[in-house]
């Protein structure tokens, strides 16, 4: 019964340091957030000790009386958070993360080597949406399925629905995936449904980034059109790290009526073992917070903060992808300044501002991305308002100036070193000639 501090001072100290880092930095990573104390308490509870393979009421281990109740509560709250009627939608809450939720959904919906289409990584899509490079099939979603990504319009940065429709008519996917990790605009689900239907494809929305906003009705509702909706629980939704898979129940006899069994079996035993019950309890706690009326205020504030930041940066002359944002993030295009996203990320790290480099559509290499992704969910959880985000914009502006200045000075030194080397080389040559 010793505390972490007494039992393992080395790890204790690292945890303390990380906590200090989180609270002493301006946290602008779009996929991160600060969970509540209650969520952390549930996540660090005795539920981590229990094995419970299977589903509530049908487990492979004894002693699951309370675990069953936790999972039932979590499922009910997940449906409630998104306003779903349990006769029309079901949910599996056991996925360990967003990636495994996606792979389980694909396992349930399509067969090996079937075709899928998702948004290209360089245009803001996620790895698990079929990412591959010319040299390598990187993601399992490209290894086990045939992937043909769709893109944004290279001029506007907006999703090119016409091109997607044209390509889908040729490629005829079995699964159309929407959702993204770095796309600042909302989704036209009616159009996507139409495109999916033309090929007889399932439509899956991975709303990982925006689920907290969807729950607050601050984004279009994917449940109106999609067959399956996946999400992580730790981004705008502000829970612990996990994944949820929502599936549409169709009236008996219709195409999707067996989705429930297929999804549940794809999660376990398909891709996972025993569920992480402590996490499921913590997801339940966070979903209860999402049901509170204050959640809508939070989601509205996230969007207002992003807008304030975008306006501030535009005032300083920066290029924002799609010229703004409708959700919780912006993509700052640094290419007009001849600055890479990696350099900007480094400079910001020095200044206790945490963000991440990100490819911008049209980038030639993912190794030297041309932009940075900036999100408002975490700082909004720490009560930041529009004026605070204007100040964040000022800090970012100064960071860019500093990066440019450093880059300029580094180039001057580099030119000088090259010139010195050249003159030494010349002197040596002259000596040799004279000798």
Mark the segment that binds ligand PLP (CB under 6 A) among 98-106, 221-229, 273-281, 387-395.
98-106
296 catalytically annotated: no
Rounded to the nearest whole angstrom, what is the least distance from the CB of residue 206 to ligand PLP in the complex? 5
- The residue from 54, 118, 130, 179 that contacts ligand PLP (CB under 6 A) is 179
206 catalytically annotated: yes
3-state SS, residue 152: strand
Other Cβ atoms within 10 Å of 210 Cβ, number: 30
51 catalytically annotated: yes
- The residue from 43, 52, 94, 99 that contacts ligand PLP (CB under 6 A) is 99
Which one, 180 or 310, has the nearer CB to ligand PLP?
A: 180
Q: Give the position of tokens 């779903």.
A: 84
Among 75, 235, 357, 373, which one carries the catalytic annotation? 235
CA gap 118, 126 in Å, rounded: 8
CA gap 146, 113 in Å, rounded: 5
172 catalytically annotated: no
3-state SS, residue 109: helix
Name the phi and psi angles at 399, rounded to 5: -65, -40
Q: Which of residues 270-309 bind ligand PLP (CB under 6 A)?
A: none
- What are the DSSP calls for 286-313, one per residue? HHHHHHSTHHHHHHHHHHHHHHHHHHHH
Exposed, middle or buried by CB within 10 Å (0-12, 13-18, 19+), for 23? exposed
Residues in the chain: 435
- CB contact at 8 A, 198 and 205: no
Closest residue to ligand PLP, Cβ-based?
A: 98
Residue 209 near ligand PLP by CB under 6 A: yes
Rounded to the nearest whole angstrom, what is the least distance from the CB of residue 279 to ligand PLP in the complex? 11
Residue 151 near ligand PLP by CB under 6 A: no
Exposed, middle or buried by CB within 10 Å (0-12, 13-18, 19+), for 281? buried
Which one, 290 or 403, has the nearer CB to ligand PLP?
A: 290
Which one, 103 or 318, has the nearer CB to ligand PLP?
A: 103
88 catalytically annotated: no
Q: Distances from the Cα of 136 to the Cαs of 141, 232, 344, 370, in angstroms?
A: 12, 26, 28, 22
Mark the segment that binds ligand PLP (CB under 6 A) among 4-12, 74-82, 179-187, 285-293.
179-187
Cα four-point dihedral sign 425, 431, 434, 435: negative
Mark the segment that binds ligand PLP (CB under 6 A) among 41-49, 203-211, 221-229, 248-256.
203-211
41 catalytically annotated: no
Among 232, 236, 279, 340, which one carries the catalytic annotation? 232
Rounded to the nearest whole angstrom, what is the least distance from the CB of residue 336 to ligand PLP in the complex? 26
Which one, 360 or 400, has the nearer CB to ligand PLP?
A: 360
Residue 206 near ligand PLP by CB under 6 A: yes
Token pair for 203? 């439509």
CA gap 95, 206 in Å, rounded: 14
- The residue from 90, 98, 275, 371 that contacts ligand PLP (CB under 6 A) is 98
Which one, 110 or 245, has the nearer CB to ligand PLP?
A: 245
Name the phi and psi angles at 312, rounded to 5: -60, -45
Which one, 187 or 318, has the nearer CB to ligand PLP?
A: 187
Q: Which of residues 118-147 bind ligand PLP (CB under 6 A)?
A: 126, 128
The site for ligand PLP (CB under 6 A) is made up of 31, 97-99, 102, 126, 128, 179-181, 206, 208-209, 232, 241
| Residues with catalytic function | 51, 53, 206, 232, 235, 241
């Amino acid at each position: 019964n010793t505390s972490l501090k007494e039992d393992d001072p080395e790890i204790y100290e690292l945890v303390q340091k990380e906590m200090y880092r989180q609270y002493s930095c301006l946290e602008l990573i779009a996929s991160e957030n600060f969970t509540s104390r209650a969520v952390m308490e549930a996540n660090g509870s005795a539920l981590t000790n229990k094995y419970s393979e299977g589903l509530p009421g049908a487990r492979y281990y004894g002693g699951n009386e309370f675990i069953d109740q936790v999972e039932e509560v979590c499922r009910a709250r997940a449906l409630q958070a998104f306003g779903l009627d349990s006769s029309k939608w079901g949910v599996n809450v056991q996925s360990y993360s967003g990636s495994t939720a996606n792979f389980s959904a694909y396992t349930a919906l399509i067969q090996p080597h079937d075709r899928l289409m998702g948004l290209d990584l360089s245009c803001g899509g996620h790895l698990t949406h079929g990412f591959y490079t010319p040299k390598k099939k990187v993601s399992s979603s490209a290894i086990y399925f045939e992937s043909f990504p769709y893109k944004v319009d290279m001029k506007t940065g907006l999703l090119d629905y016409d091109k997607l429709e044209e390509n889908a008519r040729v490629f005829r996917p079995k699964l159309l995936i929407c959702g993204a990790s770095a796309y600042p605009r909302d989704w036209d689900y009616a159009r996507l449904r139409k495109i999916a239907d033309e090929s007889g494809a399932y439509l899956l929305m991975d709303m990982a980034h925006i689920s907290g906003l969807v729950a607050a009705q601050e984004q279009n509702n994917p449940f109106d059109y999609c067959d399956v909706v996946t999400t992580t629980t730790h981004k705008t939704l502000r829970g612990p790290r996990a994944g949820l898979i929502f599936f549409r129940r169709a009236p008996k006899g219709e195409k999707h009526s067996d989705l429930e069994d297929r999804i549940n079996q794809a999660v376990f035993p398909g891709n996972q073992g025993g569920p992480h019950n402590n996490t499921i309890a913590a997801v339940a706690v966070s979903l209860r917070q999402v049901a509170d009326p204050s959640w809508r205020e939070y989601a509205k504030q996230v969007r207002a903060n992003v807008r304030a930041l975008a306006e501030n940066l535009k005032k300083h002359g920066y290029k924002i992808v799609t010229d703004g944002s409708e959700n919780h993030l912006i993509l700052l295009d640094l290419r007009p300044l001849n600055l890479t996203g990696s350099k900007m990320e480094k400079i910001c790290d020095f200044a206790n501002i945490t963000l991440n480099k990100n490819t911008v559509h049209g980038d030639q290499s993912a190794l030297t991305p041309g932009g940075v992704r900036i999100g408002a969910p975490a700082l909004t959880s720490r009560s930041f308002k529009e004026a605070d985000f204007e100040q964040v914009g000022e800090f970012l502006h100064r960071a860019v100036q500093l990066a440019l200045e450093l880059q300029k000075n580094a180039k001057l030194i580099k030119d000088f070193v090259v010139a010195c080397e050249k003159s030494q080389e010349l002197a040596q040559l002259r000596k040799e000639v004279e000798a």
